C-alpha cells in the first residue's frame, strides 16, 4: 500500500506542475479548482489501484487540464462536477481492456468521461 507520506510528497510535485502549466495556459477554472480535482483523482487512484498515480510531464498535465474543462459532446464540465459527484468512482470501477492504467490521461481521452457521466447521475 502507498504510504501517506510518499503520496503527499508525490502530489507536492504534481501541484508544482499544475501551477507551472496554469501560468503557461488560459483556463476557465481557478488554479485551486485544478489542484482539488487532481488531488481527488490521485487520491482515488491510490485507493483503487494500491499505488501512486504514474508520473506525468508538465506538458501532459497542461493538456489534461485543458481537457478537463473542455466540452465533450455538448457537456461542459465544472470542477464541482468532478468534486461533488461519483464520476471518478464510476470510472475506477469500470473494467476497461487489460493493460489500462486508469490514469487521468485515460480518463480525459475520447468519450470516457462522457459515458461515465451518465453512470454518475
How confident is residue 13, by pLDDT bands cut at 50, 70 and 90? very high
Domain total of the chain: 1
Name the average pLDDT for the chain.
88
Cα 39 from Cα 47, distance rounded (Å):
12
pLDDT attached to residue 6: 53
Residue with the bigger pLDDT between 5 and 64: it is 64
Encode pLDDT of 49-92 as tens digits.
998 899 999 999 999 999 999 887 877 889 998 999 899 999 99
**Does 7 score more than 70 pLDDT?**
no
Cα 114 from Cα 36, distance rounded (Å):
20
Determine the 3-state secondary structure of 72 from DSSP.
strand
pLDDT attached to residue 8: 54
Looking up cell 473494467 gives: 95
pTM of the model as a whole: 0.89
pLDDT attached to residue 5: 44
Ranked by mean pLDDT, the top range of 44-48, 68-72, 115-119 is 44-48
Domain hosting 112: range is 4-120
Cα 40 from Cα 85, distance rounded (Å):
11
Amino acid at each position: 500500500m502507498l504510504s501517506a507520506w510518499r503520496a503527499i510528497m508525490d502530489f507536492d510535485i504534481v501541484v508544482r506542475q499544475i501551477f507551472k502549466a496554469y501560468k503557461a495556459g488560459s483556463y476557465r477554472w481557478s488554479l485551486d479548482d485544478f489542484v482539488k480535482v487532481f488531488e481527488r483523482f490521485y487520491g482515488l487512484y491510490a485507493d483503487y489501484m494500491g499505488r501512486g498515480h504514474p508520473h506525468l510531464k508538465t506538458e501532459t498535465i497542461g493538456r489534461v487540464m485543458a481537457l478537463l474543462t473542455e466540452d465533450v459532446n455538448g457537456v461542459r464540465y465544472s470542477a464541482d462536477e468532478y468534486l461533488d459527484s461519483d464520476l471518478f468512482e464510476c470510472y475506477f470501477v469500470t473494467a476497461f481492456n487489460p493493460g489500462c492504467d486508469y490514469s487521468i490521461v485515460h480518463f480525459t481521452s475520447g468519450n470516457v468521461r462522457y459515458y461515465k457521466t451518465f453512470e454518475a447521475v
